């Protein structure tokens, strides 16, 4: 009788007929020297039971050939993660499929493809290079598999640079990873899911009356340009970079309106100038302004063709962003509704459907009494 020769695939399947549940306790209970077992539900994952220890390997077909790879894993969980990583490296790529980028390539593509303010673009790259430069040559899928390493890195950043920096780096990385995942469906989820977002304590930055008095005294010692800069910061609550980039074309002293162009989120907005601020800017232009071809409201004394960048480095002055918190607090004291306060500060009105129906520039005059009320309160406290 002729001997029946099994095809290679059938012989391999016959040798793998022993199956064990995909649970660590089930694998731990396997008898010594029982040979090879297939892990149920884990395609191609095998466990070998020797005399003294167990080992894992991955057996999968790649281009009709059987590929075998011993895994550097001591537990089932580690073996499953390693098997996924190895299989992704063995798996043939369909024609035209995007290769998985390194972190450096992913950052560059994200910054090029997203509509971001120039400052945000620079900050994203600066923070990642500061905290993850040694990972820039690693691929996103490798970083996704190294969840424990990623969690440790975020903890190290929090310890060395503070929770605010750690939370920012985590959010930036997650945004970049998820943006690439939209076109790389096999890319695992971001390793940020293994991290607890560092808690950043809310800043109680609003200035009290005594702090405002001290600021008023310090302002009297400043140059005309810097004094005018701080008046705008105090009476509008705008961000520092937004104020620095103001040009006279953005100011309408007749209608007493200012339009902020360089803003976070690329959402220009307009608000009324408080009466006192309009008067101060008119006097500043007539007596203290340094003319320049670019039309900067606050030109640099060293080079009038460039805006003033050193406005916040003056003794006795608070952090510029503290005045934004102060404006929001004083608006609440003046009775501003949340929607009108958002309009003054240029915050997004997209919290819900009803707010998205609001057209901010039609409410400029509605917030004028509020900014004037805050200005008069400041005038009394700071003894203008």
Give 154-209 pLDDT, tens digit per residue.
999 999 999 999 999 999 999 999 999 998 988 999 999 999 988 887 778 899 99
312 alpha-carbon distance from chain centroid: 25
Distance CA 365, CA 334 (A): 16
Could you write out the DSSP letters of every residue in 178-192?
A: HHHHTT-TTSPPPGG
Q: How far apart (Å, rounded) are the C-alpha atoms in residues 324 and 234?
A: 8
Determine the Cα–Cα distance for residues 301 and 229; give it in Å rounded to an integer: 14
CATH entry, 8-90, from 3.40.50.300, 3.30.160.390, 3.30.160.270, 3.10.20.30 = 3.30.160.390
Location of structure tokens 């997203």: 114
Residue 70's pLDDT is 86
Phi, psi at 139, each rounded to 5°: -75, 155
Distance in angstroms (rounded) separating the CA atoms of residues 190 and 175? 9
Q: 219: helix, coil or strand?
A: helix
Say which residue the tokens 């190294």 belong to.
Answer: 146
Give the residue carrying structure tokens 């700071």: 382
State whether residue 23 is helix, strand or coil.
coil
**pTM across the whole model:** 0.63
Q: How many CB atoms lie within 10 A of CB 233?
A: 26
For residue 15, what pLDDT is reported?
Answer: 52
**Domain spans in the chain, listed from the N-terminal domain onward:** 8-90, 103-194, 209-382
- Rg (the chain; Cα; Å): 31
pLDDT at 4: 44
* Cβ neighbours around 45 below 10 Å, total: 25
Going from the first residue of the chain to its last (384 residues), give the mean pLDDT of each consecutive group of 10, the final group possibly shorter.
49 64 90 90 89 88 79 87 78 66 94 82 91 94 94 95 94 96 90 90 87 94 92 96 94 96 86 97 94 93 83 75 95 94 88 76 93 97 93
Kindly tell me the number of DSSP H helices and DSSP E strands found in the chain. Answer: 16, 8
Long-range contacts of 13-17 (CB under 8 A, 24+ apart): 16/46, 16/59
Task: Report CA-CA distances (Å) from 32 to 14, 37, 110, 253, 329.
Answer: 21, 12, 51, 88, 71
1.20.1640.10, 1.10.443.10, 3.90.1640.30, 3.40.50.920: which CATH number matches 209-382? 1.10.443.10
Identify the helix (H) or strand (E) that includes residue 1. Answer: none
| pLDDT at 372 (0 to 100) | 97
- The count of other CB atoms within 10 Å of the CB of residue 225 is 19
């Amino acid at each position: 009788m002729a001997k029946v020769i099994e095809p290679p695939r059938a012989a391999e399947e016959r040798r793998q007929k022993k199956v064990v549940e995909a649970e660590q306790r089930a694998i731990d209970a396997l008898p010594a020297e029982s040979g090879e077992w297939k892990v149920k539900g884990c395609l191609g994952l095998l466990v070998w039971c020797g005399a003294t220890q167990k080992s894992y390997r991955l057996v999968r077909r790649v281009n009709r050939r059987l590929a075998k790879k011993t895994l550097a894993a001591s537990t089932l969980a580690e073996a499953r993660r390693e098997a996924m990583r190895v299989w992704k490296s063995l798996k043939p790529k369909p024609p035209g499929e995007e290769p998985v980028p390194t972190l450096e390539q992913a950052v560059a593509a994200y910054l090029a493809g997203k509509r971001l303010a120039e400052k945000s673009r620079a900050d994203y790259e600066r923070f990642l290079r500061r905290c993850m430069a040694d990972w820039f040559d690693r691929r996103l899928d490798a970083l996704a598999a190294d969840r424990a390493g990623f969690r440790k890195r975020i903890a190290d950043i929090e310890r060395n640079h503070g929770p605010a920096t750690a939370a920012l780096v985590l959010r930036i990385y997650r945004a970049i990873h998820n943006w690439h995942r939209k076109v790389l469906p096999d890319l695992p989820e971001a390793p940020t899911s293994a991290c607890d977002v560092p808690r950043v304590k809310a800043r109680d930055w609003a200035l009290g009356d005594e702090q405002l008095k001290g600021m008023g005294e310090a302002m009297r010692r400043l140059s005309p340009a810097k004094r005018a800069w701080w008046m705008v910061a105090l009476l509008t609550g705008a961000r520092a970079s937004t104020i620095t980039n103001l040009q006279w074309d953005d100011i309408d002293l007749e209608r007493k309106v200012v339009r902020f162009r360089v803003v976070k989120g690329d959402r220009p907005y307009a608000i009324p100038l408080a009466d006192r601020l309009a008067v101060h800017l008119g006097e500043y232009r007539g007596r203290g302004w340094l003319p320049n071809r670019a039309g900067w409201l606050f030109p640099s004394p060293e080079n009038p063709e460039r805006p003033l960048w050193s406005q916040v480095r003056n003794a006795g002055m608070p952090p510029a962003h503290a005045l934004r918190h102060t404006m929001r607090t004083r608006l609440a004291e003046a009775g501003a509704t949340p929607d009108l306060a958002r309009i003054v500060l240029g915050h997004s009105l997209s919290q819900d459907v009803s707010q998205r129906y609001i057209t901010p520039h039609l409410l400029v005059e509605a917030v004028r009494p509020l900014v004037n009320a805050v200005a008069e309160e400041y005038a009394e406290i700071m003894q203008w």
